[in-house]
Amino acid sequence: MIQPDDQMRCDHAPGSDEGQQGSVGHVPQDTRGDLTKKAPLAKLVWFKSGGAADWLFEPADMEDLTSFLSALEPGTPVMALGLGSNLIIRDGGVPGVVVRLGKPFSSTEVKRDCVIECGGGAPGILVASAARDAGIAGLEFLRGIPGTVGGFVRMNGGAYGREVADILVDCDVVMPDGNCVTLPVGDLDYSYRHSRLPEGAIVVAARFKGDPGDPEEIGAEMDRIADERENSQPLRTKTGGSTFKNPEGGKAWQLVDKAGCRGLELGGAQVSEKHTNFLINHGDATSSDIEGLGEEVRRRVAEATGVNLEWEIKRVGRP
């Protein structure tokens, strides 16, 4: 087991996200949805660690969301939260407002020409299942993305050889000032696990296009993906999904393994023995343990292979 190191754990460690700044001014209270001050977030994220949000807002519908954001003090940090995968909430909590899109934003509707329209809060498995039932092929890979439409549209989520850029037609986005715009896929300037959507922008709906297919064959492919994930990933642990981006021409897990990090521990956090591109929380890990372990893995990989791994998991909040 490695020991904690203050330098390794610093908020601006190489490769980490910039610490979020900004103060909270006027927060409108006349909402129809749920608005909670100092809301604990650990229970809402896969790692089950981290601090509280200054404010957590779960809007009742689109109008509730846009009116809230338009009345919010300009400059207040805003962050969307989906299923809480692929995310480390730092122990000091998240400044500003965290917006969680719930059931009102989780619908799916089949349109013409093999297009399916989905709310930003719809999980990938729901979208893939709706496409299967409608005989729309090409969206099966969404079964393997543990997140919501809003999250994987923002980060160009992908799995099993496909990514959102391959299927997205356009998306509806609410900007931090409450204005809603529809952006075609070309405006997102997609690259590997990245889009040009500004911080604080919230994807509230998206339209995906597939191809005509046989529901049984689509379902069989979804089952294959589910089985492969179950057999290769530590899904039944407190984890956050793939930790590092795959470097060009390589696999992050192979580099982590080569650097001798399989099973490496820090506090209550560990590099998964089953899949070395996953970090897991044994039950008592702090977010500082988890992020610090990730930074130590990056250091050892760089030392052993010369490759600087980039974080795929997003890290947000105060240390």
Look at residue 209 and give its three-state secondary structure: strand
* Cα angle for residues 95, 13, 305 (degrees, 5° grid): 140
Identify whether 193 is a catalytic site residue: yes
Q: Among 59, 41, 58, which residue's Cα sits nearest to residue 50?
A: 41
CB atoms within 10 A of CB 248: 7
Cα–Cα distance for residue pair 219/216, rounded to 1 Å: 5
Two tokens, residue 33: 């949805």
The one catalytic residue in 49, 242, 272, 288 is 242
* Cα angle for residues 94, 104, 206 (degrees, 5° grid): 85
The one catalytic residue in 117, 140, 163, 312 is 312
Two tokens, residue 119: 């709310």
Cα–Cα distance for residue pair 52/41, rounded to 1 Å: 5
Contact call for residues 236 and 247 (beta carbons, < 8 A): no
The one catalytic residue in 132, 193, 299, 300 is 193
Identify whether 242 is a catalytic site residue: yes
Which positions are annotated as active-site residues? 193, 242, 312
